Amino acid sequence: MKDASPQTIHLSDYRPFAYTVDSVHLTFRLAPKATRVISKIAFSPNAAFPGEFFLHGQDVKLIWAKIDGVDVTPDVTDAGLTCAVPDAPFVWEAEVEISPATNTALEGLYTSNGMYCTQCEAEGFRKITFYPDRPDVMSVFTVRIEGDLPVLLSNGNPVNSGDGWAEWHDPWPKPAYLFALVAGDLAAHPGSFTTMSGKDVALNIYVRPGADEGKCAFGMEALKRSMKWDEDVYGREYDLDIFNIVAVDDFNMGAMENKGLNVFNSSCVLASPETSTDANFERIEAIIAHEYFHNWTGNRITCRDWFQLCLKEGLTVFRDQQYTGDQGSHAVKRIEDAITMRSRQFREDNGPLAHPVRPESFIEINNFYTITVYEKGAEVIGMLKRLVGDEAYYKACDLYFERHDGDAATIEDWLQVFEDTTGRDLTRFKRWYAQAGTPRLTISDDYADGTYTLHFTQTTPATPGQDEKAPQVIPIAVGLLSQNGEEVQPTVVLEMTETYQSFRFDGLTEKPIPSILRDFSAPVILQREQTNAERAFLMAHDTDPFNKWDAGRALARDVLTKMITKDAAPDIAYLDGVAAILRDDSLDPAFRALAISLPSEDDMAQALHDDAVTPDPLAIHRACEALKVAMAQHVQDILPRIMADMIVSGPYSPDAKSAGKRSLGRAALMLLTRIDGGAAAAKTYAEADNMTMQLAGLSALLMIGKGDAQSEAFRDQWRNDRLVMDKWFGLAVAMAPPEKAAMVAQALTQEPDFDMKNPNRFRAVFGALAGNAAGFHDPSGDAYRLLGTWLIKLDAINPQTTARMTTAFETWRRYGVTRQTQMREVLENIAATSGLSRDTAEMVGRMLG
Ligand code: 0A1
Ligand code: ZN
């Protein structure tokens, strides 16, 4: 629905609500197109902040309202209602009607395959009933659900139930965004957990009856591991008698941490060896942990307002990253996270959508569930931990939980516990929350008389609305290696606080080779003159796994840049480095797979743009392909052995070690396929007994323009599995040759099982199109226009997913005039669409602005 005058909300305008909510009773009478919601809410005036009685409400039809039992007639607008109320505590009652079955935006109460479910974060509760829908208004909820369905769930503990009704009570005060209701014909996969203080908690994963029931076991074990980990590492215990997870097919995001009733996109919880890849298993485990960890970082301590989103998200992402590292390899996890930061967060931070980890204004908060708030927010916590040390970090966290339990807190509260614990002044560090943009760190060095000095200069480019940047506090982890590869200075963390700063290392006998920004100790871009010989040296000798990997990356980037801009042949130093990594059986296979992987084509476009070269996606694609062929030829004698060694025998297990072996095996297969005509890939596909290898075989074949028969067979085999079919839809577009990508995507939208109402299916096709860099940027402009057309269609039914997907265009200014014009036209077309949602209007406005 068109919002005539979208309001910009500012952090500086924060004011507490004029009333407190003492209790909430809700009764739901479920009906697909006419659900009735009866609310009974006890309010008290907030003496310290008197003001208007305003309740949010959107797309809800008011049937009646009462105050203290007497009928009232509030003033109702599109956004909510106001009403004259007593100057003393009172009870508000209202009945409203809503239509879950026609709610395609998937916010508020909606239906998905006949199941009722809710999504209230950030501002969905106002689509359920009139309420002060803001995170600092917290209350205890009691919920009665009436409906002719076997399973009726809400937050907290079950109180009572009978035929066609159930009552739930959540003793923990919560904001409305954590409310949830689920009702449907669901099957439970049960489990249990005994907490550290000996309390038994009933666990359930609810799914649609049938095939999905066989896909719950992994999620249940992951949940138990998460519960244990949060006790062991953060001392956090679960606080209700029951913890429920529900899998839903239609969901805008990954999952949601509603108190005691987490709702998951089915793709983020359902797993089986036959239908899920190793990457799926890893992601599912991380998301289950993430949502569970929110119980303390998000729910027990929530956010005062939506500007503080990173308070819960940055911290919870940081915690899930720690958890994943603990389950497998910290080094591998750190490299994976750095890849995400550099490719997706740096891309955001260096474009028109750049914003601080804690934004200062927004039009639509749903547009700020971003990689910056989540991932850079987590990096900021990681830097804080590195600066204060582990012991102080956990002490500060303890203080945070103790001091703010039950609060709606702010970033100031979070930093205060660190100041109080350590005595440090974090004023300057706080800039990480306020200043957008990726700092560039320029490095030079000198050596004389046994003293080695590193000189750093930091600058942060201007970002929208922020022209001037102040220096950041940057923890720079550094180690020094001798010329023959021994570590002469183990890792130290240099704390850079100024624009220019130098650090000295004394007592050396020769000029060392520095290893800088170990473990990716800060989300910054290093700018440094470095020879490929030095990079190759670090690739071979660095003791820090992140920098060992990164040296290879830097080398690959340089090789590709010269292939693209100078038509150079692949540098033998890189090819030798790859061969050495592949041969080194002492290295973790998962690490080896990462170490021989290339930067993505989009990363290369960004790198060229940073070097003031206009990127040509097709030239980048060709160079990447040529380099992969050269790599394959250079290491062809090693590949068969690697593939044989990396076969994991016995029944499939998604554990990190087995997955790591498969990862290296697949990397070898991808190389081999470029020189063996697809024989090994066809064999892999035919013999696969798990989705990881089946998909690896199929992808490899499609990559070389083969695999039509396998693709058809795959489709026949998995026709009835929605999640696997999403993979099939996505793969067809991702692997399409550049000039055909748009056509393939367009053809897929005509398939009977393409359903634009299902965000997973829409993302499968169009996320893959945007991800096929050379295809998306095909000179015809067809892919731009196709995506634009479909985004306009989707906006009318699902603004949130549409707005997110417009980010495919966020890099438009990187490219040459023709592409810029084509993309700008698409953005302008979207912007000019009548009835465009506030979500999408804000995004395209910022991109064009
Ligand atoms: N808080 C959830 C993510 C989430 C955010 C918004 C949503 O709907 C608008 C749904 C989920 C998380 O961090 O997992
Ligand atoms: Zn989260």
Angle formed by the axes of helices 377-388 and 390-404, nearest 10°: 120
Residue nearest to atom 11 of ligand 1 (CA): 256
Please give the distance, rounded to the nearest whole angstrom, from the Cα atom of residue 362 to the centre of ligand 1.
17
pLDDT tens figures, 355-378 = 999 999 999 999 999 999 999 999
Please give the distance, rounded to the nearest whole angstrom, from the Cα atom of residue 316 to the centre of ligand 2.
6
pLDDT score recorded for residue 4: 54
**In angstroms, rounded to a whole number, what is the distance separating the alpha carbons of residues 434 and 745?**
40
Mean confidence (pLDDT) of the chain: 98
Q: Among 256, 262, 375, 760, name the best residue to mutate to test ligand 1's pocket (greatest count of ligand atoms within 8 A of Cβ).
A: 256
Please give the distance, rounded to the nearest whole angstrom, from the Cα atom of residue 349 to the centre of ligand 2.
20
Taking the CA of residue 122 as reference, the ligand 1 atom at the shortest distance is 9
Task: Say if residues 525 and 438 touch (Cβ distance below 8 Å).
Answer: yes
**In angstroms, rounded to a whole number, what is the distance separating the alpha carbons of residues 287 and 317?**
9
**Does residue 3 register a pLDDT over 50?**
no
Pairing assessment for the beta strands 200-207 and 242-248 based on DSSP bridges: parallel
Residue nearest to atom 12 of ligand 1 (CA): 256
Residue nearest to atom 13 of ligand 1 (CA): 313
pLDDT score recorded for residue 2: 43
Query: Across the beta sheet with 474-481, what order do the strands follow?
Result: 487-496, 474-481, 513-516
CB atoms within 10 A of CB 778: 22
State the ipTM, two decimals. 0.98
Among 664, 649, 676, which residue's Cα sits nearest to residue 588? Answer: 664
Among 753, 752, 749, which residue's Cα sits nearest to residue 786? Answer: 749
**Does residue 142 register a pLDDT over 80?**
yes
The two structure tokens encoding residue 270 = 């359902």
Share of the chain above pLDDT 70, in %: 99
Taking the CA of residue 369 as reference, the ligand 1 atom at the shortest distance is 5
Please give the distance, rounded to the nearest whole angstrom, from the Cα atom of residue 361 to the centre of ligand 2.
20
Q: How far apart are the first and last CA of the chain?
A: 23
Catalytic option among 282, 291, 313, 842:
291
Beta bridge partners of 82: 54, 75
Residue nearest to atom 2 of ligand 1 (CA): 256
pTM of the model: 0.99
Please give the distance, rounded to the nearest whole angstrom, from the Cα atom of residue 461 to the centre of ligand 1.
30
Please, what is the Cα angle at 685 between 680 and 688, to 5 degrees? 115
**In angstroms, rounded to a whole number, what is the distance separating the alpha carbons of residues 57 and 60?**
6
Task: Say if residues 671 and 691 touch (Cβ distance below 8 Å).
Answer: no
Among 752, 765, 823, which residue's Cα sits nearest to residue 794? Answer: 765
Classify burial at 580, counting beta carbons within 10 Å of its beta carbon; exposed 0-12, middle 13-18, buried 19 or more: middle
pLDDT band at residue 682 under the 50/70/90 scheme? very high
pLDDT tens figures, 6-48 = 899 999 999 999 999 999 999 999 999 999 999 999 999 999 9
Angle formed by the axes of helices 601-610 and 617-634, nearest 10°: 120
pLDDT score recorded for residue 37: 99
Which residues contact ligand 1 via a Cβ below 6 A?
Answer: 119, 121-122, 252-257, 290-291, 313, 366, 369, 800
The two structure tokens encoding residue 90 = 């009172």
**In angstroms, rounded to a whole number, what is the distance separating the alpha carbons of residues 212 and 223?**
17
Please give the distance, rounded to the nearest whole angstrom, from the Cα atom of residue 334 to the centre of ligand 2.
19
Residue nearest to atom 5 of ligand 1 (CA): 121
Amino acid at 729: F
Beta bridge partners of 39: 26, 94
pLDDT tens figures, 559-570 = 999 999 999 999
**Does residue 492 register a pLDDT over 50?**
yes
Please tell me the number of the ligand nearest to residue 312's CA.
2
pLDDT tens figures, 67-94 = 999 999 999 999 999 999 999 999 999 9
pLDDT band at residue 58 under the 50/70/90 scheme? very high
pLDDT score recorded for residue 125: 99
Pairing assessment for the beta strands 242-248 and 261-265 based on DSSP bridges: parallel
Residue nearest to atom 7 of ligand 1 (CA): 121
Q: Which long-range contacts (CB under 8 A, 24 or more apart) does 606-611 make?
A: 606/343, 606/346, 606/347, 606/350, 606/811, 606/814, 607/557, 607/561, 608/561, 608/564, 608/565, 609/814, 610/525, 611/561
Please give the distance, rounded to the nearest whole angstrom, from the Cα atom of residue 307 to the centre of ligand 1.
15
- DSSP, res 310: H
Amino acid at 691: M
**In angstroms, rounded to a whole number, what is the distance separating the alpha carbons of residues 378 and 582?**
32
Angle formed by the axes of helices 759-771 and 741-749, nearest 10°: 170
Task: Say if residues 711 and 698 touch (Cβ distance below 8 Å).
Answer: yes
Q: How far is CA 506 from the centre of its chain?
A: 43
Mean pLDDT, range 437-455, rounded to an integer: 98
The two structure tokens encoding residue 838 = 């506030």
CA of 405: how far to CAs of 151, 209, 297, 343, 398, in Å?
Answer: 32, 38, 10, 36, 10
Please tell me the number of the ligand nearest to residue 287's CA.
1
Dihedral sign (CA 422, 416, 359, 501): negative
Dihedral sign (CA 281, 285, 291, 294): negative
Please, what is the Cα angle at 747 between 746 and 752, to 5 degrees? 115
pLDDT tens figures, 89-117 = 999 999 999 999 999 999 999 999 999 99
Residue nearest to atom 8 of ligand 1 (CA): 121
**Does residue 199 register a pLDDT over 60?**
yes
3-state helix, strand and coil shares in percent for the chain, rounded to the nearest 5 = 45, 20, 35
Query: What region does 514 belong to: left with phi over 0, alpha with psi -120 to 50, or beta?
Result: beta
Q: Among 103, 112, 251, 253, name the best residue to mutate to test ligand 1's pocket (greatest count of ligand atoms within 8 A of Cβ).
A: 253
Mean pLDDT, range 519-529, rounded to an integer: 97
pLDDT score recorded for residue 6: 82
Task: Say if residues 68 and 91 touch (Cβ distance below 8 Å).
Answer: yes
H helices of 341-376, in order, are: 346-349, 371
Active site residue 291: yes
SS3 per residue for 88-120: CCEEEEEEEEECHHHCCCCCEEEEECCEEEEEC
Taking the CA of residue 800 as reference, the ligand 1 atom at the shortest distance is 9
Please tell me the number of the ligand nearest to residue 306's CA.
1
Share of the chain above pLDDT 90, in %: 99
Dihedral sign (CA 29, 30, 32, 38): positive
Query: What region does 814 belong to: left with phi over 0, alpha with psi -120 to 50, or beta?
Result: alpha
Task: Say if residues 258 and 155 touch (Cβ distance below 8 Å).
Answer: yes
Among 212, 202, 340, which residue's Cα sits nearest to residue 264? Answer: 212
Classify burial at 457, counting beta carbons within 10 Å of its beta carbon; exposed 0-12, middle 13-18, buried 19 or more: middle
Cβ neighbours of residue 247 closer than 8 Å, sequence gap 6 or more: 205, 206, 207, 208, 212, 264, 265, 266, 269, 270
Please give the distance, rounded to the nearest whole angstrom, from the Cα atom of residue 247 to the centre of ligand 1.
14
Task: Say if residues 770 and 811 touch (Cβ distance below 8 Å).
Answer: no
Residue nearest to atom 4 of ligand 1 (CA): 256
pLDDT tens figures, 579-613 = 999 999 999 999 999 999 999 999 999 999 999 99
Cβ neighbours of residue 691 closer than 8 Å, sequence gap 6 or more: 273, 274, 275, 276, 277, 280, 724, 727
Q: Among 112, 288, 369, name the best residue to mutate to test ligand 1's pocket (greatest count of ligand atoms within 8 A of Cβ).
A: 369
Query: What region does 389 belong to: left with phi over 0, alpha with psi -120 to 50, or beta?
Result: left
Task: Say if residues 544 and 491 touch (Cβ distance below 8 Å).
Answer: yes
CB atoms within 10 A of CB 429: 23
Taking the CA of residue 317 as reference, the ligand 1 atom at the shortest distance is 13
82-107 as b/e: b if 16+ CB within 10 A: ebebeeeebebbbbbebbbeebebbb
pLDDT score recorded for residue 417: 99
Among 300, 296, 301, which residue's Cα sits nearest to residue 320? Answer: 296
Task: Say if residues 113 and 758 touch (Cβ distance below 8 Å).
Answer: no
Q: If you compute the radius of gyration of the chain from its CA atoms, what whole number of angstroms results? A: 27
pLDDT score recorded for residue 184: 98
Please tell me the number of the ligand nearest to residue 313's CA.
2
pLDDT tens figures, 261-296 = 999 999 999 999 999 999 999 999 999 999 999 999
